[in-house]
Structure 1
Amino acid sequence: MPDGNILGIVGEYNPFHNGHAYHLEESVKRTSATGVVCAMSGDFVQRGEAAILNKWKRAGIAVRCGADLVVEIPVFCCLANAGIYGRGAVKLLESLGFVTHLSFGSESGDIAELEEIADRLDRYDEEISRRISVLSRQGLSWPAARDRAYRDFFPDGSNISSSSNDILGIEYLRALHGLTPLTIKRKGAGYNDSVDKDPGAVFHSASGIRQALCDGRDISSMVPEECFRELSGLTSDALEIRAERYFQLVRYRILTS
């Protein structure tokens, strides 16, 4: 078994950008980790989108940027909601038997607040779930319904953030059984911000970088060199053709079902 603290990180790395590199490096410093294991989505990521690079290339980038081992999160977890994704990723890391810490990025950066929310969601899971079902039937999205249901039960408590990393962080904490958690406050762009919001920023969102690639823009300053080498061959024309091919496959399946 490996000696010392072994850090677990959950990520999609779609693509691996400067924020991911910062999170990995800062997490290693704070845990004095002697090894890093990344649980990573495969060729398909959350919301059912095909990753911009295949899993082998993304795993290779992660290793060249500081990970020692990359393990694949089962695709049925990646294509499900945040709760299933979070549980699947955490159970995968725990099943290895040598991971000691779990670090995740968050918009709040407050591990105590996130742990309190996670504990309350667990203790009142049945009641909150029933309320979520009612609100969902009224047209609210799952994150909005859960936030409203939580506030109905805990009006004086902290709201559940609508930010993606906070939502995932809460699910990681609910799934943990033995790993020591920590969170690193997200820097720079928000989860869905485009690069135009702050073109000169060091940290951009993965979705913003993907859109910039599709627009044919230079993203060399937004990602580590190891990642840029893999992305540099992806032209906007090639990405458009790929999207059209996926559409044709989906269209065929719909017409023949």
Structure 2
Amino acid sequence: MLSGLDPSGGAGLQADIQAITSIGAHPLPVLACLTIQDTRNVYGAETVNPDLIRQQLQRLAQDTPIHAIKTGALGDAAVVEVLVDFLQGQPDIPLIVDPVIKAAGGGDLADEALVTAMKERLFPHAEMITPNGIELAQLGGSDDPAVAARTLLDTGCESILATGGHGTGIHIINTLYNHAPTPMEWEVERVGSNEFHGTGCTLAAAIAAGRAMGLSPRAAISQAQNYVHRALLHALTVGKGQRVPDRGILWER
């Protein structure tokens, strides 16, 4: 996976490592950016040298079979270009993109150039994009989820899993849009009345782990949702902000 470092341990690279390991796959973590972050918000970020990222990806590909790739916070558009170049030589690897734009507290994790690079350069390589409702509206240019998803599908990606954690109600509705006539929905019981720190990272990483282990996209989504739900039931109070999913729970596959 390629994502940012959250020093609170709630989201980003650590969330990816924990989720992928819990599901039963082996993570290959590549750091895209460093953040100034706690459980309440993001206050700043600095991108890792893109050439360093390029060299890490090349060395990993020469040494280790890669069965899926998950992205999170990428830092800037130059990192997208490095990843796209890498993907040109890895056309059959499922790419799960968590399009991180803002922290739950409102802090920015992507500027306009990065958003444009993701839409125009990265999304065409993606098997699945996993935006929350806010990200879907911004990326797709519409408050209508179906219209926004269609806009993103037109970029060339295979599917959009629109997550409903930012909504209200006793259930979360996650909706898979692809090129089928009708979308597919999963209904998941909402845990508590507050948002959690790192659920989007956890879900996308768990989906990528499932795909790496040979599950179909739909089966990987179902497994990942069950895993995230259980992690939220045992969420940890780490700081003074949002609670953190307990991704270290014993997971029976």
Both structures adopt the same fold (TM-score exceeding 0.5): no
**Over alpha carbons, which structure has the higher Rg?**
1
TM-score, scaled to structure 1: 0.30
Higher strand share: 2
TM-score, scaled to structure 2: 0.31
Higher helix share: 1
